[in-house]
Amino acid sequence: MSTATESSAAAGLRGVVAAQSAIGDVNGEEGKLIYQGYDIHDLATNSTFEEVVFLLWNGRLPSARELMDLEKELRANYAVPDDVLELMQRYPKDADPMDVLRTSVSSLDFYDKDGHGTDREAALRTAIKLTGQIGTIAAAWDRIRNGNDPIVPDSTLSIAENFLYMLRGEKPDADEARMFDIALILHADHELNASTFTTRVVAGTLADMYGAVTAGIAALAGPLHGGANTAVMKSLLEIGSVEAVDAWVEDALEHKRKIMGIGHAVYKTEDPRATWLRKFSKQMAEKKGESKWFDMSQRIESLMHEKKGMYPNVDFYSASTYYLMGIALDMYTPIFAVSRISGWTGHILEQYGNNKLIRPRAEYIGARDQKYVPIEER
Ligand code: COA
């Protein structure tokens, strides 16, 4: 389109406004996050994940009746088709949970007769199915790979309670259920992050919602995006003790290795989600009488602030929180997806509602005026 001398594309599209959206807004300077105008702290304090799902999809808080109806519909869709679970039994037991999630969510499309509808009514039906089913798939895989039968979802439970129940085989206590529900609220939407942008690009071609969400899961899996939470816990395990933190951080910085869970493409101050997860990590440390992971995290946080002026992001303290909840490391990113499905589907609904194919241009920096040389002369 243009030459390198005329313009220079923003690396990683930083600061480029690529869509209009009423769903969520990140104020990176002030460390503020809103969903449909509501501050994340207000929602985390007062709301439930299901209520936030309604908010993201409809642009307003529900009445008591509307919330009850949505909860009922979501719960009626917790179960996944038997075929999907049977197929999962044949996957290699060491398959990455995000790969399994991607493949299985993609296959849900076969069992949804109007899953390709892009009008609001049909797309909303699919959004409800996906939001109800994604946790069942994620939890089922953790059971299957460990040689256990998947636990049948319990439609008397909320999404947060039901997920922990299906994953761990017992219903969570009220404190853990609420903590996890808030974690789902915190991860629900984050404006045009990489996976959400991906879902909008796919939906913008008027491809079906299953395809768009499958692509979103693929994007979320990367260690620079949703995969960072697992990477944080791997780092903590590798470091092993509070005493070893300083030398480890020093070495990482010296060798220009990124410290996972630190830094953000938009926030230049504390990520407001990290404020909550720091609290949960501490809470779990006290509950389990094991403060090592929280203490190590705090030390890393203060060193990174002191040396680089950087702050923890959403993934940093979620790692130690989930670890002490007894959740396998590689399930942290699927948990992110169990929540982010609400933001993805909200953005897809918004995209379908006012669609324009997303088709940017590249700044061509290759050669021009080359003449074809026959292969035998090269
Ligand atoms: N640890 C150490 N240094 C870091 C860092 C980290 N986690 N994140 C960024 N930096 C440094 C980079 O090395 C770079 O330094 P340089 O200018 O000396 O080369 C500088 O900060 C800018 O980094 P860059 O990756 O270009 O910034 P960004 O805005 O694109 O980064 C992230 C955003 C999230 C990709 C980046 O901070 C990161 O990779 N963090 C770790 C992964 C993570 O937690 N991801 C989850 C995001 S929610």
Cβ neighbours for 276, distance < 8 A, ≥ 6 positions apart: 41, 44, 182, 183, 186
What is d(CA 125, CA 73) in angstroms, rounded to the nearest whole number? 9
The residues annotated as belonging to the active site are: 264, 315
What is d(CA 202, CA 357) in angstroms, rounded to the nearest whole number? 9
Rounded to the nearest whole angstrom, what is the distance from the C-alpha of residue 190 to the centroid of ligand 1? 18
Q: What is the pTM of this model?
A: 0.94
Beta bridge partners of 25: 34
Which amino acid is located at 352 in the chain? Y
CB 228 near ligand 1, within 6 Å: yes
CB 268 near ligand 1, within 6 Å: no
| 208 Ramachandran zone, left/alpha/beta (phi>0; psi -120 to 50) | beta
Rounded to the nearest whole angstrom, what is the distance from the C-alpha of residue 217 to the centroid of ligand 1? 22
What is d(CA 8, CA 363) in angstroms, rounded to the nearest whole number? 7
Q: Which structure tokens are listed for 235?
A: 């780092």
Rounded to the nearest whole angstrom, what is the distance from the C-alpha of residue 159 to the centroid of ligand 1? 33
pLDDT tens by residue, the chain, 378 residues:
444 444 567 889 988 999 999 999 999 999 999 999 999 999 999 999 999 999 999 999 999 999 999 999 999 999 999 999 999 999 999 999 999 999 999 999 999 988 999 999 999 999 999 999 999 999 999 999 999 999 999 999 999 999 999 999 999 999 999 999 999 999 999 999 999 999 999 999 999 999 999 999 999 999 888 889 999 999 999 999 999 999 999 999 999 999 999 999 899 999 999 999 999 999 999 999 999 999 999 999 999 999 999 999 999 999 999 999 999 999 999 999 999 999 999 999 999 999 999 999 999 999 999 999 999 999
